[in-house]
Amino acid sequence: MSKTDLQKILSVAGQSGLFRFVAQANAGIIAESLSTQKRNMFGINVRLTSLSDISIYTESEEISLLEVFEKMKLILSDESAPDPKSDPSVLKDFFEKVIPDYDRDRFYVSHMKKVVDWYNHLKQYASLDFEKEAEVKEEN
């Protein structure tokens, strides 16, 4: 399985799951659902966020979602992340292991749910072997 480029993996407001960027279109972008493989056209008014643009607040800095996923992978090995519907205490305990100094005032349970959901989606439908920025630049 090829490496996952988080720049091409998108979260789409109002849609569940994750999408892979396919192409730029006149009126927006074409993206493919990781889980269903169905392609969708998303207009310019739809809020799209590349996972590479997301960071998590810690007490001292922000760390990229890529770093968080890699720390999760170290802790989880081949296991899946906790279910997003888990009790909030389960998610908080998990993230205390992954990012011990996460900012308790700015990294909410709602964010934790998204992160574990995205991680499990990538584990199931893509790869947890991520492309690093340097590797992406070399290919271009």
Which fold would CATH assign to domain 6-50? SH3 type barrels. (2.30.30)
Query: Rounded to whole angstroms, how far apart are CA atoms 62 and 53?
Result: 11
Angle at 132 between CA 17 and CA 75, to 5 degrees: 65
Give pLDDT tens digits for 63-109.
999 999 999 999 999 999 999 999 999 999 999 999 999 999 999 99
pLDDT at position 140 is 45
Confidence of residue 134 (pLDDT cuts 50, 70, 90): low
Give pLDDT tens digits for 11-25.
999 999 999 999 999
pLDDT at position 136 is 45
Q: What stretch of H or E contains 43? A: strand 39-43
Tell me where in the chain the CATH 1.10.10.1650 domain(s) lie.
54-125
pTM of structure = 0.92
CATH number of 54-125: 1.10.10.1650
